Amino acid sequence: MKGKLRKSHGVSDCKIGIIANPMTPYNKVSEVLIRKFLRLIFSIVSEVIIISGNLPEDVLTTPKARCYNFIYHNKYRSPVPRVANYVKMQLRIAIGLFKGKKDIGVAFFWLSPTLIIPMLVAKIVRIKTVLFITG
């Protein structure tokens, strides 16, 4: 076989970022799913960057995870402030993604099909993206 042999990079060399919608106190299912997903990811990589809001305390204190966490509550009843608050939350996630662009090779958008702004930022800064939807 002619040609150059290329060094194969293993999965453990990947820099993985997990971007998720903020956890809500009344929806414990998303907390359980993120814990299970992290357990799976931690078995193959050494460090993960998590960008989300209202993360559970045990996820925040995991030594293998660098977390960009923020508090998010959408307490408004009127549609206009709710949408404005949601866009503000997406901008915060996008800024966290932009700041961590050198540390993230692949971004998993975990249970977050509506995070359009962060996904566009990931594409603009040339981060490989994976949209992960369960159901």
Residue keyed to tokens 């509550």: 73
How far apart CA 48 and CA 17 sit, in angstroms, is 6
Domain 14-132: state its class: alpha beta
Report the predicted TM-score, pTM, of the whole model to 2 decimal places: 0.81
Please, are residues 119 and 98 in contact by the beta-carbon 8 Å criterion? no
Looking at residue 58, its pLDDT comes to 83
What beta strand segments (E) does the chain contain? 16-20, 48-53, 65-70, 106-110, 128-132
| Mean pLDDT by groups of 10 residues along the chain of 135 residues | 50 78 78 86 90 85 88 83 90 91 90 88 94 76
Give the model's pLDDT for residue 122: 95
Q: Tell me what pLDDT residue 1 has.
A: 46
How much is the pLDDT for 4? 55
pLDDT for 21 equals 85
Would you state the pLDDT for residue 59?
A: 85
